[in-house]
Amino acid sequence: MNDTERSTVAMLVGTIVHRAVLWPMLRPVTADRLAAFEGAEFLAERATAALGVLKRRIEPLIAKASDEHRDDALAAVNLEGPWDTGSFEPSWESLRVPARRELLRRLDPLVANAARAVSNVVRSRSIRGDGVVCA
């Protein structure tokens, strides 16, 4: 991988990790759901499941994919909505197949780590009584 591809992979990994960790947090965390944050793995488990969905949608794009698969992947990954082609598609298209595979391989530990970090922040805020709303 050349320097440009390494940089692109790092940016896309960050985008996908961000999406996977935030998906489980789209609804406000209140009452019964807040109690679930007592377990440090609460968000990590949900982020891992979200990453599984994202990877299944992205994998068909490693090689040429149909328009339907492409639209499905973009709808899942693009942070500004399904037609935010500036976020993901041009960067993904610039990568060669080995770099695309490397990108997907690197995601699992990064998502778990990011989810645990977010979970720790949420748990510490709720313990102090600061109130937590993640939307």
* Tens digits of residue pLDDT in 94-120: 889 999 898 899 988 888 888 878 777
Integer Cα distance of 29 and 123 in angstroms: 11
| Calculated CA dihedral for residues 81, 70, 95, 9, nearest 10 degrees | 40
Which residue type sits at 44? A
Span of 29-38, 44-53, 114-123 with lowest mean pLDDT: 29-38
Give Cα separations from 59 to 31, 42, 54 (angstroms).
37, 26, 9
4 pLDDT exceeds 60? yes
pLDDT, tens only, 53-98: 888 888 888 877 788 877 777 777 765 554 555 667 788 888 899 9
Domain chopping of the chain, boundaries:
3-127
CA 97 remoteness from chain centre: 20
Residue-level pLDDT at 87: 66
83/77 Cα distance (integer angstroms): 10
Of the candidates 36, 73, 67, 37, which has an alpha carbon nearest to the alpha carbon of residue 54?
A: 73
